[in-house]
Amino acid sequence: MKPKNYIFPIIIILLIVSSFYLTLLRYQNQNLLPEKYNFLKTGNILNNAFFLLLLIFSFLNLFSKARYPLKTILYFLILSIIIVGDLFFSGLSYDKDVKVVTSGIFLFLASLMLISLITTYFTKSRKIHLFRDIVYTLLIGIIGFVINVIQIYSFKDDYDYITSSNITADAGVILGAAVWGGNRPSPVFRERINKGFELYEKKIVPRLVLTGGGYGGELAEAEVAKNELIRYGINENHLIVEKESFSTIEQIFFVRDILYNRYKWNRIIIISDGFHLFRSRELCRFNNMNVLTVSTDTPLTTESTLNFCIKESIAVLFFWFFGIG
């Protein structure tokens, strides 16, 4: 029996295990049960499409009548074992930095394996050309990354739709930002507060959710926002304060678990900077919240906006595949 005929089935099984475990990790990292799985979520669509391609070209190589060098077959076997091991290691870790590193390794190795499966199938010698495959992987990765950056850069919020269609929501959620000395909101944070106040004044939302923790001796971001909005004249009873979170995903979890699901809300409006809204919307949608977005009026240079979009593109990619917020 040829090595290919019994090693490639093992590779296929390992890929299937990887696909299911990656899905489990994505939901685990979002504190969601697998029963909440929805084929139409962006991350699930990307995961399924990616592994479908891996399986298609694994089967094509398996049933190919060409002779495969043993080195080629062992290359795919070792790569698939490393991929599965990397995923399981990521799942065992509670450290976000470790999860990010192992997730990055997985993305590169799994993409490299797909490229290698494709190029091997169409190469007469069936030999692995590792350097070529790495270059192809990096080029395709860069192209995909640039497309994602453009998508985030050109993202348009829902403000015009909300105001022209008289849309209302159960609450406006102001995502936290930096606090300056003297417990003053930074210019970026102040613009978020101002936009939230505008939506409240126009009766688009009956309440505002203020999110964000604090560092050292300073007030929490949410407390600073609360003080500003009370000074603007908003009734304190219309302000919901969350002051323990230190990341966007923690703020979304709070809204989901403590407010949206508990009180059966129908819609929320996320208020943040334009570059931040695409990922925030994706987080909310994955967590089954009906969301609209409103951007602040913070003036940013093209260079600053592009820099933020690059960071957000990386973050949303890790969220789509791994559920890391």
Q: Looking at residue 118, what DSSP letter applies?
A: H
The pLDDT assigned to 66 comes to 92
Closest CA to 88 of 18, 179, 189, 181: 18
Backbone angles phi, psi at 6, to 5 degrees: -115, -20
Q: Where are the alpha helices (DSSP H) in the chain?
A: 3-29, 42-63, 70-92, 96-121, 130-153, 159-164, 187-201, 221-232, 248-254, 274-286, 302-322
Both tokens assigned to 291? 């969301």
| Alpha carbons 279 and 58: distance in angstroms, whole number | 33
Give yes or no for a contact between 135 and 108, defined as CB atoms under 8 angstroms apart.
Answer: no
Is the distance from CB of 186 to CB of 179 less than 8 angstroms? Answer: yes
With residue 211 as reference, give the H or E element that holds it. strand 208-211
Which one, of 221, 160, 213, lies nearest residue 188 by Cα?
221
159-299 — its CATH code?
3.40.50.620
Indicate the domain borders of the chain: 3-153, 159-299
Strands 239-242 and 184-185: unpaired
Helix, strand, or coil here: 122?
coil
Which pLDDT does position 1 carry in this prediction?
62
What's the rounded Cα separation, in Å, for the pair 254 and 80?
37
pLDDT at residue 102, rounded to an integer = 95
Cβ-contact 320, 42 below 8 angstroms: yes
Strands of the sheet containing 268-272, edge to edge, are 239-242, 208-211, 171-174, 268-272, 291-295
Q: Distance between CA atoms of 194 and 177, rounded to whole angstroms? A: 13
CA atoms within 13 A on the CB side of 53: 15
CA–CA distance, 283 with 277 (Å, rounded to integer) = 10
- 171-174 and 208-211 beta bridge pairing: parallel
Long-range CB pairs of 63-67, under 8 A, 24+ apart, other chains included: 64/121, 64/126, 66/124, 66/126, 67/126
- pLDDT tens string, the chain, 325 residues long: the values are 688 888 999 999 999 999 999 999 999 999 998 888 999 999 999 999 999 999 999 999 999 999 999 999 999 999 999 999 999 999 998 888 899 999 999 999 999 999 999 999 999 999 999 999 999 999 999 999 999 999 999 999 999 999 999 999 999 999 999 888 888 899 999 999 999 999 999 999 999 999 999 877 788 999 999 999 999 999 999 999 999 998 999 999 999 999 999 999 999 999 999 999 999 999 999 999 999 999 998 888 888 889 999 999 999 999 999 998 7
